[in-house]
Amino acid sequence: MNELKGKQTKGRNRVRNTVFVLLFSFATASAQHPVEQANEAYSAGDFQQAAELYQSALEEYGASAAVYYNLGNAFYRLNRIAPAVLNYERALLFDPGNKDIRFNLEIAKLKTVDKIEPVGTFFLSEWYESLQNRRNTNQWSAVAIGCFVLFIACLFLFFFSRKTGLKKAGFYAGAGLLLLCLAANGFACGQKKKLTHRNTAIIFAPTITIKSAPDRSGTDLFILHEGTKVEITNTLGDWKEIETAGGNVGWIKKTEIEII
């Protein structure tokens, strides 16, 4: 907490400012209270209370990779796999390069029933996705800005240097930095799209039959279980068309899934 500055000249002013400092200190402590209490509850083994407090913190202060991660841990300890997977996935949206989150997510997935083999993708696409996930939107944006500033410096070196060697160095370094700047911008846009256009979800129903049409009378296609991640491809009323990692497509009631 920052200290109050300014010399007090009267006793009444000192009392008033003392009260203000105490109230401000109490308000600051209260602002951190839910997460601190949740951490204490988690350490004490009261995972249900910890989960409730982490959820309160998210509702009051907004999204946080750390809080989503801790909430996922609390749900995992409670053996509630679907909420655990959901919150690990949400944590990754804000901190995609965090290895601890990815590790715990994989551990949680081991407890899910559906072991779906993903459809093979082109290796360059996998490489691009892996590289993009090393940083979040803000970090990639910072890289892009840094590269652009250095690119401008290289332009000055190229145009105003009298030495041929420096001109060449400025040209090639500038070209490389420009490419890095464009790539970082692309990665930043990709990560931002994941945050703003959330089209993936987690199955929350213990067992659910996927239909061929957005209606209870639709043909039964296949069965999914809680904790399975799906992609939402269409919406019609209270129904969502989903696609699994294995390429199977069908309809499910929106109440049976939770958007990541």
CB of 110 closer than 8 Å to CB of 228: no
Check residues 3 and 58 and name the one with the higher pLDDT. 58
What pLDDT does 116 receive? Answer: 86
Q: In this structure, are 73 and 161 located in the same domain?
A: no
Mean pLDDT of all residues in 122-151? 88
Residue 63: CATH number of its domain: 1.25.40.10
CB of 147 closer than 8 Å to CB of 177: yes
What pLDDT does 124 receive? Answer: 77
The DSSP 8-state label assigned to residue 255 in this structure reads G
Q: Tokens in use for 63? A: 């999204």
Check residues 118 and 164 and name the one with the higher pLDDT. 164
Check residues 108 and 3 and name the one with the higher pLDDT. 108
Q: In this structure, are 61 and 83 located in the same domain?
A: yes
What pLDDT does 27 receive? Answer: 46
Q: Can you give the residue range of the structural domain that contains 208?
A: 200-259
The count of other CB atoms within 10 Å of the CB of residue 90 is 24
List, for residues 166-191, the tens digit of each pLDDT value. 899 999 999 999 999 999 999 999 98
List, for residues 46-84, the tens digit of each pLDDT value. 999 999 999 999 999 999 999 999 999 999 999 999 999
Q: In this structure, are 207 and 188 located in the same domain?
A: no
List, for residues 196-207, the tens digit of each pLDDT value. 888 999 999 999
Q: In this structure, are 189 and 221 located in the same domain?
A: no
- Which of these three, 196, 211, 240, is where a domain ends? 196
- Which of these three, 78, 109, 140, is where a domain ends? 109
Residue 148 within a domain: yes
Q: In this structure, are 63 and 129 located in the same domain?
A: no
What pLDDT does 257 receive? Answer: 96
What pLDDT does 2 receive? Answer: 36
Query: pLDDT-derived band of residue 10, with 50, 70 and 90 as boundaries?
Result: very low
What pLDDT does 32 receive? Answer: 52
Number of domains in the chain: 3
The count of other CB atoms within 10 Å of the CB of residue 203 is 27
Q: In this structure, are 140 and 181 located in the same domain?
A: yes
Residue 3 within a domain: no
What does the alpha-carbon distance between residue 68 and residue 70 come to, in Å, rounded to a whole number? Answer: 6
Q: In this structure, are 186 and 208 located in the same domain?
A: no
